[in-house]
Structure 1
């Protein structure tokens, strides 16, 4: 795994609090919000994080702007979204030989309010003190992965994800 590079968290936080919803931008195909897509259907979009802390870091999002998991999704919508999280987890485990898959939902009404799940493969051999929250925090740096490598990774994850869909 390549070394993490410093991340300007203050600038990032300033930007996310004042710009339009980046997930809605990705859904619209707005070039300002370009991310490497892994999967898209009528309800869900999955893409690689632009600021990965680990290779294969993905976001799973409803395409419609939903903010509150408890009230903005029906049980059926939630279960379909979680089925994609599960399939993606299986695909990431295969592609990255992950020791574990981290899944969490972040965001707030102040920024990144569009509901999304972070699905992140933990490579084997990461020391315990660098796992869990530490592994996910941009404050500890992010990976700078070249665009062509991100495209290659997205293709590998897409292929494994499609195989999981076919198997289910």
Structure 2
């Protein structure tokens, strides 16, 4: 445990409260999945729990009971929607490991053979592109159980 308290004003907490908009692709009682605004590849999606958790070190273990099925569902939909050869699932904890938003979250990134990912948090994506990609994932979700 880091000993650093959860900040209720982090950007993902603001998204959960509706203070900041997002391009949501899936939501249930416990989780929210939405487009990363600085994607490493087309279709890069974030999955967060609705309960406050700074990262893996302070999350209640039961959080993962709800979070991981959503991560799996989104990974399947992203792979289908973007005809990906694979999917990278990444989760960062603390600044030394690359965590920049201190609300527990998973990255689901579609990967194509031979295509390099863009750098993490490098460039803001166009809102129209994010909306289109979100719709593609929502359509793919219709075929995912």
- TM-score, with structure 1 as normaliser: 0.70
- Indicate yes or no: 2:43 matched with 1:56: yes
**Which 4+ residue blocks in structure 1 deviate beyond 4 angstroms?**
none
Q: Which residue of 2 aligns with 1:108?
A: 94
C-alpha change, 1:155 and 1:123, in structure 2 (3 Å) is same
The number of residues matched between the two structures is: 136
Q: Do 1:107 and 1:114's aligned partners in 2 also have CA atoms closer than 8 Å? A: no
Q: Deviations over 1:58-104 (max 9, x none)?
A: 100001211242542234x3132111111111111111111111111
- Indicate yes or no: 2:52 matched with 1:65: yes
Q: Which residue of 2 aligns with 1:95?
A: 81
What value does the CA root-mean-square deviation take over the aligned residues? 2.5
Residue of 23, 27, 34 corresponding to 1:36: 23
Q: Do 2:46 and 2:105's aligned partners in 1 also have CA atoms closer than 8 Å? A: yes
Secondary structure of the structure 2 residue equivalent to 1:72? coil
Structure 1 residues without counterparts, runs of 5 or longer: 1-17
Q: Do 1:96 and 1:123's aligned partners in 2 also have CA atoms closer than 8 Å? A: no
Structure 2 residues without counterparts, runs of 5 or longer: 1-6
Kindly indicate which of the two structures has a greater share of residues assigned to helix: 1
Q: Do 1:98 and 1:122's aligned partners in 2 also have CA atoms closer than 8 Å? A: yes
- TM-score, with structure 2 as normaliser: 0.80
Whole-Å separation in 2 of the counterparts to 1:79 and 1:19: 22
Secondary structure of the structure 2 residue equivalent to 1:97? coil
Secondary structure of the structure 2 residue equivalent to 1:138? coil
